[in-house]
Amino acid sequence: MGLVVQKYGGSSVADAEGIKRVAKRIVDAKKSGHQVVVVVSAMGDTTDELIDLAEQVSPIPAGREFDMLLTAGERISMALLAMAIKNLGHEAQSFTGSQAGVITDSVHNKARIIDVTPGRIRTALDEGNIAIVAGFQGVSQDKKDITTLGRGGSDTTAVALAAALDAEVCEIYTDVDGVFTADPRVVKKARKIDWISFEDMLELASSGSKVLLHRCVEYARRYNIPIHVRSSFSGLQGTWVSNEPRGDRKVEQAIISGVAHDTSEAKITVVGVPDKPGEAAAIFRAIADNEINIDMVVQNVSAASTGLTDISFTLPKAEGRKAIDALEKQKAGVGFESLRYDDQIAKISLVGAGMKTNPGVTAGFFEALSDAGVNIELISTSEIRISVVTRAEDVTEAVRAVHTAFGLDSDSDEAVVYGGTGR
């Protein structure tokens, strides 16, 4: 039996009862003969409460101090979890990100992990302890300041520790049973995926699936750490994410892994752009200089009569205002006619490694949408993904139609087990 890293999110340790339940699960893993390292997030709404406090004292909290503040949340949950484990008669020690050797760059609020030097964790394990580590946090290499890793940081902490400790598996415990072929809140017949490749999972994550973040999957792929996403409320097997299905598990690679959707984006269309070299570059330089992340970009062929073309792109709604402002400033220089902003859109993506060798997939995707009466506004593809933009109001119907068309619907009439808390 080897070493396992387990990660529990804030909803799993939301209160004393949750902490005690998680403690029991951890002890079970230890009893089964594993060395156990646990990464834990802040309890429930703690982080939001701390952010609220920060906003009360300062409209723009300083990065260094904001990180110092937020890391208090994991300090509380990890200490309580260690106490709860010791109360079950097993030895446990909690460690901050810094103590666990999570070394980052100095970009506060969204630091990147540079190195992991888990000497103290190794010692604690060798002495028979269960090691509890604060997720989401590290210490900067140059200044020795406390940093946080940004969204999904605890998952990344878990995978990074699993890599540094050469763990068998990184188990990500959450409030759903695993990764599904579609969001079960939208598609009642969505099926839990038993195994999915890193590549497909990366595409799902960047297409709107929220179970795992892209960054965490990317880290796991780089170090080839199998991830097991599963529920902290049930004892069921969840979804394995790895290079290959594990030897003792016969899982056929599906042609299509799943359907993802994303309603968090908006679309900006730059209308009447002169169709000559350098115009598109000027537009996207203005966007990039404002550190705005864009997603899909589409340019149509220009109408021969006018020599003008339209360029459309999608971006997070939250950055829409900033992008419009940046582009307006460039209007005279670039020479476009007008801007159109539209945040009533949805992105629907079909993901699957099988697309590479199944040329019919794209056609089937468009046919399914067409049959459902869903109009396509933008299209973008990669080797293993097709994404389209539709009206936001069509998203549910579109996802269901595609899910059914590609035979992803569950055979069972039973409702899919989704979540354990009703949250």
Q: Which residues bind a copy of itself (CB under 8 A)?
A: 16, 19-20, 23, 50, 53-54, 56-62, 64-66, 68-69, 71-73, 75-76, 78-84, 86-87, 92-94, 96, 99, 120, 144
Contacts of 361 (CB under 8 A, 6+ apart): 255, 256, 350, 352, 354, 355, 386, 406
**Whole-number minimum distance, CB 129 to a copy of itself, in Å?**
11
**Shorter beta-carbon distance to a copy of itself: residue 35 or 71:** 71
Q: How far is CA 79 from the centre of its chain?
A: 26
Contacts of 113 (CB under 8 A, 6+ apart): 102, 103, 104, 138, 149, 156, 157, 160, 219
**Shorter beta-carbon distance to a copy of itself: residue 52 or 337:** 52
322/290 Cα distance (integer angstroms) = 8
156/381 Cα distance (integer angstroms) = 27
For residue 178, count CB atoms less than 10 angstroms from its CB and return exposed for 0-12, middle for 13-18, buried for 19 or more.
buried
**Shorter beta-carbon distance to a copy of itself: residue 91 or 343:** 91
**Shorter beta-carbon distance to a copy of itself: residue 56 or 412:** 56
Contacts of 395 (CB under 8 A, 6+ apart): 186, 261, 263, 346, 348
Measure CA of the first residue to CA of the last residue in the chain; give whole Å: 34
**Whole-number minimum distance, CB 77 to a copy of itself, in Å?**
9
Structure tokens at 284: 């996207």
What's the Cα-to-Cα distance from 417 to each of 213, 251, 258, rounded to whole Å? Answer: 22, 21, 17
Structure tokens at 56: 């009360």
192/409 Cα distance (integer angstroms) = 10
**Shorter beta-carbon distance to a copy of itself: residue 76 or 271:** 76
**Whole-number minimum distance, CB 92 to a copy of itself, in Å?**
8
Neighbours of 28 (CB within 10 A): 13
**Whole-number minimum distance, CB 420 to a copy of itself, in Å?**
20
**Shorter beta-carbon distance to a copy of itself: residue 20 or 322:** 20
157/40 Cα distance (integer angstroms) = 9
**Whole-number minimum distance, CB 29 to a copy of itself, in Å?**
19
**Shorter beta-carbon distance to a copy of itself: residue 109 or 381:** 109
**Whole-number minimum distance, CB 231 to a copy of itself, in Å?**
21
**Whole-number minimum distance, CB 298 to a copy of itself, in Å?**
42
**Shorter beta-carbon distance to a copy of itself: residue 50 or 376:** 50
**Whole-number minimum distance, CB 230 to a copy of itself, in Å?**
23
